[in-house]
Amino acid sequence: PVADQPLTITYDASLGTAGLKDCNCDVYIHTGVILPGSREWQNVPTTWAEANDAWKLTPVSGQPNKYTYTFSPTIREYFGVDAATAIEQVAMVFRNADGSLEGKAAGGADIFVDVSSGDTLSLTLTGDPGTETYPLGKALPVTVGSTSEALLSLYDNDSLVATTTGQELNYSVRLTDPGEHTLRATASAGGSTVSDSFAVAGQLLVEILQPTTSVVNGTVGQSVTVEATSYVVADLQLVTGATVLAAKTDSLLTETIVLPAAEVIKYTITATYRGETASRTVVYITGEPQVAQLPDGATPGATPMDNGDLMMVLRAPGKSDVFVVGNFNEWSPVIGSRMNRTPDDSTFWLQLPADALPDNDLLYQYALDNQGRYADPYSTLVLDPSDDPFISEETFADIPDYPTGKAEGVVSWLRLDVPDYPWRFDASELPDPKKMVVYELLVRDFLADHSFRSLTDTLDYLDRLGVNTIELMPVSEFEGNISWGYNPSFHMALDKYYGSPEDLKALVDAAHSRGMAVVLDVVYNHAFGQSPLVQMWPGAESFVPGPDNPYANVTARHPFSVGTDLNHESALTKEYVKTTLTYWLEEFHVDGFRFDLSKGFTQTDYGKDVEAWGRYDASRIAIIEDYADLVWSVNDSAYVILEHLAEPREEEELARYGNGMYFWSGFQPHDAYLQASMGYGEDDLRPALSANRGFSDRNLIAYIESHDEERMMYKNLAFGNSNGDYDVKDLPTALDRVELSNVLFYSLPGPKMLWQFGELGYDYSINRCPDGHIDESCRTAPKPIVWNYRENADRRDVYNTVADMLYLRNNYDYFHGEITSSQLGPGNIKYVHLDSDDGQAAVFGNFGVTAQTISNPFPTTGTWYDYLSGDSTSVSDATSGMELAPGEYHIYLSQRIEPMGGRLSTSLNDRNVARLEFGVFPNPNAGRLTTTFTLEQRAEVTLTLLDLMGRPVSQLYRGTLPAGPHNLPGQLDDLPAGTYFLRLTDGSTAAIQRIVIR
C-alpha cells in the first residue's frame, strides 16, 4: 500500500482470534495509523460501538467470513494525515455493531499493515493459503503488487512461471510436484530489485465433487453418481470392498452406481501420482435405523457402563439417522455404529461393546443424516485442530493427535483408562457465604504458564492474603485459546488451555485443604457457533440456529445477548444445563457457580428495551430457582451467585429462596470507589451495603474491581486529583489511596470480592492493548502479569493492608456486626462505626486532597486501639474532632489486636500446624534447626524456607516419607539474620511456622 493511493483490504474473520467467525452480523472496522515516533494509534476516524455505514465492511459473495473495505480516495486523505508526515502503518481491529464481538490478530494483538511512501520500490506477494500443504494441480491464485511500475516476475522454486511490466501481476499457480515449493516474486525498476515470497508444500488430494456430503441416505435400487477429482492427471480407481468399479488415468472420475440392498455401502476413490497415494470415501446408507426405547437410566453423552461397554445418547429431535464414527471404526459409518432411534423420534442411542473400544482414548463424532459430522454436545474433553497446537506438553500432556484427513471440526475425546482421582479433602467447612472474600481471577492473565498446576502452587499466597473463596473465570471449552471464556462452545468440557482434569481436581483439593472454596464462572445465557447445540439445527448459515432448533432462539430475547441465545424454557436446554452443572459439582467437587448474565434466562421477548428487561420477570425467577434446586440437590451447601442486576424485588425474592442466592453488585459501588480514590470524594459508597440495594440480608457481593471494571490504580495515576504537593497521580500517593479505599471497603459487612492483583495496586487499564496503547477493542486482550510488583515496598503495603483487613474479617466479628453510625455518602470524610460480639470498631478516612476534620471519629468514650499502628488513645469526648491529612485513615478497635494478616498465620494455619504436629526447634536459632511433624499417611513432603513476602529462599527437603512421626535436621548458616517462614506441605495441606535466625 502507498500512502497517496487508495487501499482495499480483505478481512478473513476465521483467522486470528476469530472473534467474528460465523457471527452472522455486520462487520465494522476500527482503525487508525501509526506515525513516526510513536507506537500509539493516531488520527482515528472511527468510534467504537457506533454503527456507522462508512465503517462497515462489504461481505465477499460466496466466501463466508470474508469482507472487504476500501480506504479512499487515498490512505493519507482517509486518515487526514498531512503531506509532510510519513504513514508507517494502518492499524485495524474489527467488530460487530455494538462492539461486543471483536476480531484481532492471533494472541489478541491489533492488526497492522505496512504503508509505503512510494518514494522507493516496494513489493508484496499475496495468496499464501495459510496452510502447510496445498493440493497438487489445484489453482492457487496469487497477486504480485508493486508501489510503482516495474518488471514483475513470479517463480515456483527457481522456475519462472509468469512475468509482466506494470504494478500488478495476477496468476493461478498449479503445483505439479509433491514436496516443498517456494513461490517468489520480484520487482525490478531503475536498477533496483525487491522480492517477497512464501512457502507451501504440494500434496496429492482427492476431492469428492458429488455427492456433496460424505454420508448420504439412499434407497435400494437407486441410481447415484460418484464424481471425484485429483486436480492432476493420476491413476484413479473407484472401489467398493475388493471390487474395482472403475479405473482411468485422468484428473476426473465419474461413475453411476445402483445402490444394493446392504445397509452401509462404502465407495472409495483412490489416486496414485508419482509414488504418492491419496483417497476419499463416500458412504451410502439404505434402510431405516432400529427403533428402540432408551434404556432406563441412560443419560445424554458417552457414559462408561459397569460391564465395560459404553452407552452413547444423543438428543436429536427432527433427525432421522445417526452413526457414531471415530477411531474405533476408521471414521466411517458401519452397521455396528448405527444408533437406535427412540419411538418418539427425539433421541438416538447406542451401546458400544467393550471389545469394540480402543484401550485408552476414544475419539468420535456423530454423523447426522446427510448433514455432516458433529462433536458430542456433552463432551467432557474435545480436540480442536485450530487451538490444540498452541497447548504445551507442560500444560496438558499426551493430548491425542487430531485425526487430520479423517475428521473435520471439533472432535469429542473420551479418556477410557483414567484412574479415579484420590480425593483427600472434602469441603466440609466452607466459608459462611455472608463472610466470603472472593478472589476473581483469569488463569491466563494471572500466571505466565496459565496452568491449574501453578495456581495450586500459588494458593499459599492467596491464603496469606486472607482469601477464602476463589472464583475462576470460565474454564469450560471456549472458542480459541486467548479469551476471557465467555464465548462457550461446550459447557461440559474442560478447556485444555489451563490444564488437565486432574490438575483442576488437585487445585480444588488443595484449596479445600486450606478451608478455601472454589467457584466456577459459568456461561449458560448463550453458546457460540462452534457448539453442536447451534450447528446441528442450523439456519441460513451453519453457525446460526434455525427455527427448528430445540435449544436456541433464532432471535435473542434481550438486548445484551452475544453468540446464540439459549431457550431456557426448552426441556432440552434445562436438561443440558442441569446435567452439566451436576458434572462439575460431582466430578470436580467445586463449591458453586457464578452464573454469568443470569438476567438473560428468559423467553420473554424484550427486544432492545434495556429498561424493560430489568423489570420483575416471574418466568425468569422460576427458571433460576429450578437450576438452584438442582445445584443444592447435589451439594446443599453450594454457592449460587448471579450476575443479575435486575429489579431489586426480583433479586430479593431469589435471595430469600432455598439456601439463598448471592448477587454481584455491578458498576456501583465500583464507580464511586474509583472516584473517591482519585480524590473526587463527593461519591456515594452506600451501594456497597446490601441494605441499600433492597436486600433484607447480606446477599450482595460488593467489589471495587472485577473483570468487567476499570482498575483503580490506572484511574488514580491517569486522572487523580491534586492540591499543592499532594498529587494522587504520584505512585506512592496513588497506592496509599488504594489502601484507604480498601479500608473503607472491607470494614463494611457482607461478602466481598477483589480482582486479581488488586491487592498489589494493579495499574494496567482494562482496555490496554498488547502494544501498550489504550483502546476498548483490547478489553479482552492479554494483560501484563505483575508478580514483580511484590518487590515494591509501597505495593507490599497495599498487600499487607488488605491482608490485615481480611485477617480481622476472617477471625473476628468486628466487620460482621451491625453498623451503628456511618457517613458513606457524598463528602470527603467517610466513616463507619460498628458493634459486634467482639466489641466496637471505628473506621474512617479522608478521601479529599486537603486536610479535613472528622467531627465524631469514635462512637463512645473510652480507650481505643489503632489496629495498624498498635497505638492507643483515651477518648473522653466522642464528639471531639480529629484532623486528617489527605488520604489518612484509621481503624480503631475497642480491644488491642495484633495485625497478622499476610505476615504470620491465620486460624486455618493454626489448625494445620496442630494436625501435622508441626514444630521447629530451637527457635530462634543460629542457622541450625530441626523440624518435627507427623504424617497421617505416606506423602510427598516439601520443606521450604520463605522470606516475609512468601517468596522461596531455599528448599530444605523434598521427598516421599511414610506415615508416622519425623525429624528433619536443617542447616541455614549462609542466610542473613532475620525473620523467615518455614512452610511444610504434604501434597495438599500446608502449614507455616515463623522462625528467627540470629
User: What pLDDT is attached to residue 99?
Assistant: 84
Per-residue H/E/C for 277-307: EEEEEEEEECCCCCECCCCCCCCCEEEECCC
Q: Between 708 and 19, where is the model more confident? A: 708
- Residue 428 clears pLDDT 80, i.e. is over it: no
Q: Between 130 and 634, where is the model more confident? A: 634
User: 106 φ, ψ to 5°?
Assistant: -55, 135
User: What pLDDT is attached to residue 901?
Assistant: 52
Write out the three cell numbers for 517: 472454596
- How far is residue 513's CA from residue 411's CA, in Å, rounded to a whole number? 36
- Residue 907 clears pLDDT 60, i.e. is over it: no
Q: What is the dihedral of CA 667, 670, 675, 677, to 10 degrees?
A: -170
Quick one: DSSP state of residue 400?
A: P
Query: Residue range 637-651: average pLDDT?
Result: 97
Write out the three cell numbers for 10: 480483505
Q: Residue 518's beta-bridge partner residues?
A: 470
- What average pLDDT does the chain have? 93
Query: Residue range 389-402: average pLDDT?
Result: 95
Instruction: For residue 295, say if its preceding peptide bond is cis, omega within 30 degrees of 0.
Output: no
**Do residues 618 and 663 lie in contact, with contact meaning Cβ atoms separated by under 8 Å?**
no
Task: Measure the N-to-C terminal CA separation of the chain; round to a whole number of Å.
Answer: 69
Per-residue pLDDT band for 903 (boundaries 50, 70, 90) equals: very low
Query: Residue range 387-405: average pLDDT?
Result: 94
Query: Residue range 769-775: average pLDDT?
Result: 88
Per-residue pLDDT band for 442 (boundaries 50, 70, 90) equals: very high
Tens of pLDDT along 298-352? 999 999 999 999 999 999 999 999 999 999 999 999 999 999 999 999 999 999 9
Minimum mean pLDDT among 227-241, 491-505, 848-862, 895-909: which range? 895-909
Minimum mean pLDDT among 423-432, 502-511, 547-556, 748-757: which range? 423-432
User: What pLDDT is attached to residue 91?
Assistant: 95
DSSP letters along 597-662, please? TGGG---S--TT-HHHHTS--HHHHHHHHHHHHHHHHH-TT-EEEE-----HHHHHHHHHSTT--E
Percent of the chain with pLDDT over 90: 79
Q: Between 985 and 367, where is the model more confident? A: 367
- Residue 67 clears pLDDT 60, i.e. is over it: yes
User: What pLDDT is attached to residue 904?
Assistant: 39
Tens of pLDDT along 825-870? 999 999 999 999 999 999 999 999 999 999 999 999 999 999 998 8
- Return the closest-CA partner of residue 492 out of 507, 477, 470: 477
- Residue 552 clears pLDDT 90, i.e. is over it: yes
Tens of pLDDT along 479-521? 999 999 999 999 999 999 999 999 999 999 999 999 999 999 9
Tens of pLDDT along 912-969? 788 788 989 888 888 888 999 999 888 888 888 887 656 678 888 988 899 889 999 8
User: What pLDDT is attached to residue 905?
Assistant: 37
Minimum mean pLDDT among 407-411, 803-807, 909-913: which range? 909-913
Q: How far is CA 337 from CA 198, 312, 322, in A?
A: 44, 10, 9
**Letter for the amino acid at 155?**
Y
DSSP letters along 129-166, please? -SSSEEETTS-EEEEEEEEEEEEEEEEETTEEEEEEEE
Query: Which residues does 838 contact at the CB level (< 8 Å), separation at least 6?
Result: 812, 813, 814, 817, 895
**Do residues 815 and 802 lie in contact, with contact meaning Cβ atoms separated by under 8 Å?**
no
CA 759 to chain CA centroid, nearest Å: 22
Tens of pLDDT along 717-728? 999 999 999 999
